[in-house]
């Protein structure tokens, strides 16, 4: 099996993306567990929202999807912190002016998560790890298989070039 440059590049790119999925999912889970175990719980006031949108090409209508990121204010050790959520919060019922339960990192007070999203973030991280791990395994098997095939082709070509006979040993070539 001869591997051309573009095939190797494509497989390497997919391998890199799948490893990135495993790493990204691991970071999501680590941050989530860190917030669950060591995070400080408090209530925050939703003071604003940041809206991001993207075009949904999954249907023929080309609908626009909107993502809402709440900007909240809360007090840590007498200091007012204003921070934007790292996760979109389209499903929450709260609006600007409402209070919402959050969990923040004591060592990094501007990093927080909405309490209602902790399970969702854990699930998203787990899915990233599972899918990334599956694809990492698949692409690694493809690369190893291609390498072994290439090695066998080289050995076969070397064998044919030197007109080895079935009874010829490696010692007699020296």
More confidently predicted of 157 and 44: 44
State the pLDDT at residue 70: 93
pLDDT at 59 over 80: no
- Does residue 42 sit in helix, strand or coil? strand
pTM of the predicted structure, to 2 decimals: 0.67
Q: Please check whether residue 95 is in contact with residue 47, taking contact to mean a CB–CB distance below 8 angstroms.
A: no
State the pLDDT at residue 86: 85
State the pLDDT at residue 62: 67
Which tens digit of pLDDT belongs to each residue from 5-51? 888 788 889 989 999 999 999 999 998 999 999 999 999 999 999 98
Nearest-angstrom CA–CA distance, 57 and 55: 6
């Amino acid at each position: 099996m001869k591997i051309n440059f573009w095939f190797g590049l494509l497989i390497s790119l997919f391998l890199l993306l799948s490893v990135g999925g495993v790493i990204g999912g691991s970071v999501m889970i680590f941050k989530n567990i860190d917030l669950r175990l060591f995070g400080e719980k408090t209530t925050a006031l939703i003071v604003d929202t940041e809206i991001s949108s993207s075009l949904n090409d999954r249907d023929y209508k080309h609908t626009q999807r909107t993502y809402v990121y709440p900007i909240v204010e809360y007090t840590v050790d007498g200091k007012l912190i204003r921070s934007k959520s790292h996760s979109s919060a389209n499903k929450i019922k709260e609006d600007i002016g409402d209070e919402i339960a959050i969990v923040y990192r004591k060592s990094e007070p501007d990093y927080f998560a909405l309490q209602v999203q902790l399970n969702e973030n854990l699930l998203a991280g787990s899915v990233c790890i599972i899918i990334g791990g599956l694809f990492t395994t698949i692409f690694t098997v493809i690369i190893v298989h291609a390498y072994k095939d290439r090695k066998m082709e080289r050995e076969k070509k070397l064998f044919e070039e030197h007109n080895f006979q079935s009874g010829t040993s490696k010692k007699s070539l020296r």
